[in-house]
Structure 1
Amino acid sequence: MFTRNCLIFTRNSHRWVKPNGHDTGIKVFNCTARTKVPLIVKNKNLVTWYTCGPTVYDSSHIGHASCFVKLDIIQRLLRHYFNLNVVTVMNITDIDDKIIARANTAKVPPKELAKKFEAEFWKDLDALDVRRPDCVLRVTENMDVIKNFIRELIDKGKAYKAGDNSVYFDVGAYDNYAKLQNIGEDAPEPSKFKKSKMDFALWKAAKPGEISWVSEWGKGRPGWHIECSALAGHVLGPEIDIHAGGIDLRFPHHENEEAQSCARYCRPQWVNYWLHTGHLHLKDSQKMSKSLHNTISISSMLEDTTAPAFRMACLMSHYRSRMEYSNEFVITASKVLQNYINFVDNCQNYLNGYLKADVDNDTVSKLVVESANKIHSALIDDFNTSEVISTINELISAVNSILHSSRTDLCDTKSVAVIAASNLVSSTLNMFGINVNKKQSSVCDNYVEVMNILNDFRQSIRQLGISNKDKNVLELCDKVRDNLKSIGITIKDHGKMSSWS
């Protein structure tokens, strides 16, 4: 604790408070408990989730993309796999030192700059197929909410107005600081205006000519940390199920949010579960950050790859793990995604009679059951999507091996287990936000009919070429196949029959 005489800071032994409510059966890593704990929500029909939104002073980069895509995947799982009614809230920081500085450089009002980059942010999320939050709260539209929060902290003796006319949270008046992350044992020395260097601004006094709002403490604007606490608490109340963001926000942002919220609501715990996504790094580089000037914008990334491929890359690593972004990694993710699309097509080709295979229904059924059980075990283990991807890869490899054991003397009996395997793969990926049923979902009916006619015609010509041993005709057929492949349509020849995807 902090003492005003000797200024010694000793880290307390914090205990995570297990909430009462509905046990989801999921284990998640809890940074307060320092281990995986049961995910228990107050009410399965109203799960509260708050995500720290962007400070809109510049374009969002792929580090932001990996965070929001990973959180979107978890939200989809909670909704569609675990059948929870998740209500999501996000803030938009539309006034900040960086916004003011960038606006001054661009010689535009801060409000205009923030509005521009917020619109770009939503456009990027839509392009990534990230579901928008149910409730969006902008700082500039909720000043009274923020000021009321600060006033209550002052009234409770947890905050004070300093000589610089700013208001600070008094860390020394709060017993449970350093709950989310160990920040060391030595006490910081007091600063010129603050009681301790650990104290953080709740209300920042305005500089001459700077945009500001009137308050009982003088003109100014909110500090960064108070925004999220005030806005989240205003909508979701004094206890929140899940609060999410990147790992870089755990300290000081989330630590300070938890401290001031617990102090205001007089509770030992404000957020029951903090979910933090790992950093995204460029290959052979450090963490991606605007301040390091090493960012790649989301729009630039999507010129080189697709949103489903990037989502697949996010799935291939655990949400808490560091991701290394490179062209090779994206290519690998694209190939994995294409492999899944091809597998679903192969299963359909088998059903349609294009593929003849000696399939043991019981063997494939057993593979499907085992894979489904492994997928469930991985998902309840801190949303381990990388393990799910490994399981899907193993299932596809095994079933493909069976499907390509071609026989010409087989009867027309089909193994329904093959379709069950295809359904498991496509439904699992669909929960993650990836649709591999391209033929059924993204192609209009007329286009399908045209492709069927073209495919049948080419195969008829090809059979004539084979019968007459006419190399010129066969080369023309190959050219049609190659030209179609260049625009994303794959034709596969299976003896006297051909299929397309």
Structure 2
Amino acid sequence: MFLKRKCITSILKRRNHGWIKPEGYDTGIKVFNCVTRDKQPLIVKNKNLVSWYTCGPTVYDSAHIGHASCFLKLDVIQRILKEYFNLNIVSVMNITDVDDKIIAKSNELKISVQDVAKQFEKEFWQDLDSLNINKPDCVLRVTENMEIIKEFIRKLMDDQKAYKATDNSVYFDVHAYESYGKLQKISEESLEPVHFKKSNMDFALWKASKPNEIFWESSWGTGRPGWHIECSALASHVFGSEIDIHAGGIDLRFPHHENEEAQSCCAHGKTQWVNYWLHTGHLHLKGCEKMSKSLKNTLSISSMLQNTSAQVFRMACVMSHYRSSMEFSPEFMTTANNLLTSYINFFDTCRNYSDGYIKANINNDVVNKLITDTSDKIYQALTDDFNTPLVLKALSEVVTTINSMLHSTQSDDGARSVSIITISNLVVKTLSIFGININKRDVNASENNFIEVMDILNSFRQEIRQLGISKRDQDILKLCDNVRDNLKKCGIIVKDHGKLSSWSL
């Protein structure tokens, strides 16, 4: 009866818990806050050192595109904060290189736990590199920082926030932290005792060793760390008792992030450890609830890239708000590809105009107003919880308006409008903030002469075509058309503009 009354009292306290607005530099951005469940101003302690921690992978298998979408969306947000808002992000990520799943994979492959972890961590970084996702500034592996983790556990035990149970494992006592359930509501029944634990929600800080399993020595017995304690100990080791931003997928909000916050607040004697939690939405295959290895419905990153380019996948992630779920399907990837192509074609058209291939009558007043209005829309969208889909909408409106001018049949006086170059630069620069580069020929490093060869071929065809026009030789013109059509099959678009010709991918 006493325990039941204690549970009810704790729940009432949790319901009254509020988020503490930090002091420091107001970025002007509002982000969704899972504690208050609404948008709050993003205030960082120091704009020249913004602490950012991301939960890294458990390296027991190949990463799938659900992981890719999470890390890519977080990469986009970091790029926005760095390149658009001029904040100095210092990012840290952990690597869980010992875990039940890694041990199981070790037994399955009949190789050591260390070799399993090394193999899949190497593959993880290769996958991120293939997607143009920036590597964190600091990477901390669990097995290389065991003393830091054990010291964190020892502090919790000394402060009576954790206990050793009859199964010889060490557990965090959720009743010792009155704000448990800060990130996600917890039912009363969840907090009732079960078996050897004081509460069903108590979680392992140190797992007692099992026969024939890897273990480490500690003052409370041999074993290895629990999942949640790793991130708390390693993040605290770098950033201390306060972190500006902690990020991960929405599936980590509970119990992982909830448990991190609880044990870290207790260890540091603070009411709030992380000021802002950022959670990305699920990625799911068409017709599936979400993508998960346990559901056996995953698609590896390398397999995805055989059919979808990294640029197209990034565009798809930018088209979806970072907190929203995202469906991976051929139709959605086609839509993303079409949008990316429209921006590339827009840039090529603007370049052809500035190079004199296209003549058009440009209304500079309209273009200049569009530059101002679009810049304002971009700022409003990015300060509103990083609303990248709204940015793309504004850019697409630019493309539609400018294309209508450049493709008009009205003659001009031959002067080049600087405003077209300016608005083209705005589109290119904004997309580059997201990691999307439309101002670069997308060719392999081994084909570094490709552009030069294409320029030579284009010039030769242009001269032959002019010869055919001057002599009114249909056979020559047909041969030029055949070259154009065959190049199109290879993904190279050749356009004729009177006496001049241009090409683009």
Find the counterpart in structure 2 of residue 450 from structure 1.
Answer: 453
What's 2:430 paired with? 428
How far did 1:452 drift? Answer: 2.8
Structure 1 residue 105: Cα displacement:
1.0
Q: Does 1:346 align with 2:349?
A: yes
Q: Does residue 1:385 correspond to 2:388, yes or no?
A: yes
Q: Do residues 82 (structure 1) and 85 (structure 2) align? A: yes
Alignment of 1:271-290 (within 5 A): 271-290=274-293
Is 1:247–1:278's contact at 8 Å kept on the other side of the alignment? yes
Instruction: Tell me how many residue pairs correspond in the alignment.
Output: 499
Q: C-alpha distance in 1, partners of 2:480/2:133?
A: 41
* Contact 1:355–1:406 (CA under 8 A) maintained in structure 2: no
- Residue from 298, 302, 308 that aligns with 1:299: 302
- Identify the residue that residue 219 of structure 1 maps to in structure 2: 222
> What SS does the aligned partner of 1:4 have?
helix
CA distance in 2, matches of 1:478, 1:354: 19
Question: What are structure 1's unaligned runs of at least 5 residues?
Answer: none
Deviation at 1:187, TM superposition (A): 4.3
Give the deviation of 1:466 after TM superposition: 4.3
- Post-superposition offset of 1:442: 8.1
1:63-462 equivalent positions in 2, closer than 5 A: 63-407=66-410, 409-439=411-441, 447-462=450-465
Q: Closer, same or farther in 2 for the Cα pair 1:136/1:446, shift >3 Å? A: closer
Contact kept? 1:8, 1:187, Cα under 8 Å? no
2:205 partner SS: strand
Q: CA deviation at 1:447?
A: 4.4
* Structure 2 residue runs without a partner (length 5+): none
Q: Secondary structure at the match of 1:477?
A: helix
Residue 69 of structure 1, CA deviation: 0.5
Cα 1:376–1:442, aligned 2, differ >3 Å: closer, same or farther? farther
Task: Supply the AA of the counterpart residue of 1:478.
Answer: D
Q: Is the 8 A contact 1:93 1:138 kept in 2?
A: yes
- Range moving further from structure 2, 179-188 or 322-331: 179-188
1:424-462, Cα deviation, whole Å (9 max, x unpaired)? 000011111111112599898864443333223212333
Shift of 1:337: 0.9
Structure 2: distance between partners of 1:373 and 1:6: 54
Q: Deviations over 1:206-241 (max 9, x none)?
A: 111111101111110000000000000011110000
State the distance in 2 between where 1:334 and 1:112 align.
38
Q: 1:166 to 1:462 in 2, by over 3 A?
A: same
Q: Distance in 2 between matches of 1:167 and 1:445?
A: 58
Question: Sequence identity, in percent?
Answer: 65
1:267 aligned counterpart, secondary structure: coil
Q: 1:313-343, CA deviations, whole angstroms, 9 ceiling, x for partnerless residues? A: 0000100000000111111111111111111
User: Structure 2: which amino acid aligns with 1:122?
Assistant: W
- Matched residue, 2:7: 8
Cα distance in 1, alignment partners of residues 353 and 409 from structure 2? 11
The answer to whether the Cα contact below 8 Å between 1:341 and 1:438 also exists between their aligned partners in 2 is: no
Tell me, yes or no, if the aligned pair for 1:21 and 1:41 is still in contact at 8 Å: yes
Shift in CA distance, 312/161, structure 1 to aligned 2, threshold 3 Å: same
After TM superposition, the score normalised by the length of structure 2 is: 0.95
Judge conservation of contact 1:347–1:422 (CA < 8 Å) in 2.
yes
One-letter code of the match for 2:105? Answer: R
Conserved in 2, the CA contact under 8 Å of 1:72 and 1:130? Answer: yes
SS in 2 for 1:324: strand
In 2, are the aligned partners of 1:3 and 1:172 still within 8 Å (CA)? no
What CA distance in whole angstroms lies between the structure 1 residues aligned with 2:367 and 2:39? 34
Instruction: Decide which moves more: 287-296 or 460-469.
Output: 460-469
Separation in 2, partners of 1:475, 1:64: 50
SS at match of 2:245: strand
* 1:73-98 alpha-carbon deviations (Å, 9 max, x no partner): 11111111111110000000000001
- Separation (CA, whole Å) in 2 of partners of 1:476 and 1:130: 44
Q: Counterpart amino acid of 1:53?
A: G
2:57 to 51, 54, 58: 54
1:168 is paired with a residue whose SS is strand
Q: Aligned partners of 1:284 and 1:469: how far apart in 2? A: 58
Q: In the alignment, residue 39 of structure 1 is paired with which amino acid?
A: L
1:285 Cα deviation from its structure 2 partner: 1.1
Q: TM-score, normalised by structure 1?
A: 0.96
Local SS of the residue matching 1:383: coil
